[in-house]
């Protein structure tokens, strides 16, 4: 059994949230492999994941009620065991943003615990059992064998043990001290808790700076991926994965901006095509390229080069400083600022 605290919120989407980065990394590697006709020796799980296709990292998810049959043989027995332990069904949902992901949602009427039994098209079934606090911190007991402690947020705990049975998991979570006022999860708030939790755990993952070579190697080991890539191939695949990571980060920043209510839904529909995000994870080159996009200035323009020499480590400030010296017609308009998942600003492009 492995217990960790500190990292990203572990409510419900232990694998969709924490392991998704690893799955995406494998799929990106697969795309790279096919493009360059590389012959890989893949484990069965990796080969099955490849068939799902390359998926972008989903910064946010939604739930759609499903009446389809279970995808894995062991799913029904897991659900039955939770019902025997006193859990009540909420519904079965598909997750449109995650190809192949389905889950059974339930709760314990007496304790207010939430449970998700994951029924993935490729991965064996597993569950998350969660106590939710009013602060949105959580205590989670999960049966996944792919838990990464670094994805558990501060003030949250995760106990991962693939050998746990539902009744054992319930007893274990029930034995943990209650640390703060709790949210009693039931059929009325389960979906909101789920989607809010996913957003929080993904914010934590996306704020981490993206996958590195160590994560790639760990993913290969975890899913039975290719072990014979050379460094150049691995580096190119890693860069592709990081690009997906940045795209998801920018999507999450926009979501947090929309939560502020700065613009109405009607306004957003009109503005969205012209919206850009500048954030602290950008590099100087990206900030300069974006800032000059509506001007005819080259990035070697002396005033711009001077700003880069002084502000290269602070992309938001660099973008702002370039904007201040541009012709008015080429300047972006600031719409708002957010601080999650990282510090960022949302702008409206000229037009």
pLDDT tens digits for 176-225?
999 999 999 999 999 999 888 888 888 988 898 777 777 667 666 665 55
Predicted confidence at residue 1, as pLDDT, reads: 45
Rounded to a whole number of angstroms, the CA Rg of the chain reads: 22
Q: Hey, what are 269's tokens? A: 């529909």
Q: Hey, what are 254's tokens? A: 């926009």
Q: Which portions of the chain are predicted below pLDDT 70?
A: 1-56, 215-216, 218-230, 233-234, 236-237
For the chain, the straight-line distance linking the first and the last C-alpha, in angstroms and rounded, comes to: 57
Q: b/e map of 238-272 (b: 16 or more CB within 10 Å)? A: bebbbebbbebbbbbbbbbbbeeeebeeeeeeeee
Predicted confidence at residue 209, as pLDDT, reads: 76
Separation of alpha carbons 40 and 42, rounded Å: 6
Q: Hey, what are 173's tokens? A: 């979570």
- Please check whether residue 128 is in contact with residue 12, taking contact to mean a CB–CB distance below 8 angstroms: yes
How many other β-carbons are positioned within 10 Å of the β-carbon of residue 145? Answer: 16
- Please check whether residue 187 is in contact with residue 10, taking contact to mean a CB–CB distance below 8 angstroms: no
The distance of Cα 26 from the centroid of its chain, to the nearest Å, equals 15
Q: What is the DSSP letter of 272?
A: G
Beta partners for residue 127, in sequence order? 117
Separation of alpha carbons 260 and 346, rounded Å: 12
Beta partners for residue 114, in sequence order? 107, 130
Phi, psi of 35 (to 5 degrees): -65, -35
Predicted confidence at residue 222, as pLDDT, reads: 60
Separation of alpha carbons 326 and 328, rounded Å: 6
- Please check whether residue 180 is in contact with residue 135, taking contact to mean a CB–CB distance below 8 angstroms: yes
pTM of the predicted model as reported, rounded to 2 decimal places:
0.80
The three-state secondary structure class of 163 is coil
């Amino acid at each position: 059994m492995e217990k960790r605290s500190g990292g990203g919120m572990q409510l419900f989407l232990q694998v969709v949230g924490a392991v998704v980065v690893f799955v995406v990394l494998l799929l990106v590697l697969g795309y790279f492999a096919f493009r360059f006709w590389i012959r890989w020796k893949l484990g069965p799980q990796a080969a099955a994941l490849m068939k799902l296709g390359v998926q972008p990292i989903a910064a946010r998810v939604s739930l759609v009620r499903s009446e389809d049959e279970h995808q894995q043989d062991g799913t029904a027995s897991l659900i039955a065991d939770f019902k025997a332990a006193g859990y009540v069904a909420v519904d079965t949902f598909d997750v449109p943003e995650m190809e192949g992901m389905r889950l059974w949602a339930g709760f314990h009427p007496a304790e207010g615990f939430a449970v998700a039994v994951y029924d993935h098209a490729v991965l064996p079934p597993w569950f998350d059992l969660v106590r939710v606090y009013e602060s949105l911190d959580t205590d989670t007991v999960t049966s996944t064998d792919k838990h990464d402690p670094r994805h558990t947020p501060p003030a949250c705990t995760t106990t991962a043990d693939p050998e746990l049975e539902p009744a054992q998991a319930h007893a274990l979570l029930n034995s943990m001290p209650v640390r703060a006022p709790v949210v009693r999860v039931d059929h009325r708030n389960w979906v909101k808790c789920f989607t809010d939790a996913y957003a929080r755990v993904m914010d934590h993952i996306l704020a981490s700076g993206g996958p590195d070579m160590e994560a790639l190697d760990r993913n290969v080991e975890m899913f039975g991926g290719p072990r014979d890539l050379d460094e150049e191939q691995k580096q190119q695949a890693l860069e592709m994965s990081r690009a997906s990571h940045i795209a998801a980060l920018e999507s999450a920043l926009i979501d947090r901006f929309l939560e502020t209510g700065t613009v109405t839904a009607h306004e957003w529909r009109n503005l969205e095509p012209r919206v850009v995000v500048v954030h602290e994870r950008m590099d100087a080159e990206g900030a300069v390229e974006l800032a000059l996009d509506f001007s005819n200035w080259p990035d070697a323009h002396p005033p711009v080069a001077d700003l880069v020499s002084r502000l290269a480590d602070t992309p938001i400030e660099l973008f702002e400083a370039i904007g201040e010296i541009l012709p008015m017609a080429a300047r972006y308009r600031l719409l708002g600022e957010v601080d999650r998942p990282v510090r960022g600003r949302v702008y409206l492009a000229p037009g």
